[in-house]
Amino acid sequence: MAVSKLRVALVQQDTVWQEPVANLARAGAFVEAAARRGARVMVFPELFTLGFTMTPEPFAENLPGPASEAIAALSKQFGLYIIGSVVEAHSPHPRNAAFVTAPDGSLVAAYRKIHPFSYGEENLHYTGGSDCPVFEVDGIPCGLQICYDLRFPEPFRALAAKGAEVVFLPANWPARRISAWSTLLAARAIENQMAICGVNRVGRDPQLDYPGKSAILDCFGEVVAAGDATEGLVIGDIDLTQLRAWRERFPALRDRRVEVYATLERKDGTPMNTDQS
């Protein structure tokens, strides 16, 4: 049976640019600190071993591979779930992939970023994913998204429709657009009646400043825990009993009219033809 509360630790990491060995060497201290404070799940920022690089090919690896296996060993050593992300080997371009490791050291799930950030030319260097898996943490149905995915409500709604109660979102979200980050985290939580855990890096890469502002939000879009621009852990407890009661008492997701939505993107209002024959 699913637990009623989930303690989550978000790692506001000042990522060493394109130095996976250095970043992995620092990971253990973060994990140990999170475990000591009772976290059940710990989440690193997007591409936490590299930074948001647009030269991914030299760093591409398989899943499982060196980074996920190193994190899996930490999961097993300290007894908690860990979420990281890597450049995953793929053709014609690598993929920006998040993964989940379990306390027994197994690889629980992997998610490939659906929306490469075309404004930053990520789409020229990474291949987008096409699936939103739901996985369990102690019986709690959970999902993953990555950074720019936050601007698109559809995958979050798909996860909610599949029963996800918590979505984890590793990011490299720059200071110049940080107001959108906070607003969109709240919107995705409210509209899907789910908890959202958004973790953002701090520091600077060769081009951008990152202000942290990681946050854990409940199903009402209220902030449970939030960070500033300081490197370290942001820790909070998600109340799943409250979330489930709210979904039952105010069943907005049941009122969706998917048969109508299918016509809305066509200017003439007729249903879209899905026959590919």
* Whether 46 is catalytic: yes
Catalytic pick among 46, 61, 122, 165: 46
Q: How distant is the alpha carbon of residue 108 from its chain centre?
A: 14
Q: Rounded distance, CA 12 to CA 230, Å?
A: 7
Q: How many CB atoms lie within 10 A of CB 256?
A: 12
134: left (phi over 0), alpha (psi -120 to 50) or beta: beta
147 is catalytic: yes
Q: Which residue among the candidates 61, 132, 142, 147 is catalytic per the annotation?
A: 147
Instruction: Give the torsion through C-alpha atoms of 44, 46, 48, 52, to 10 deg.
Output: -160
**Other CB atoms within 10 Å distance of the CB of residue 77:** 14
Q: To which residue do tokens 């980050």 refer?
A: 181
The single residue of 61, 88, 113, 142 carrying the catalytic annotation is 113
| 113 catalytically annotated | yes
Q: Which residues are catalytic?
A: 46, 113, 147
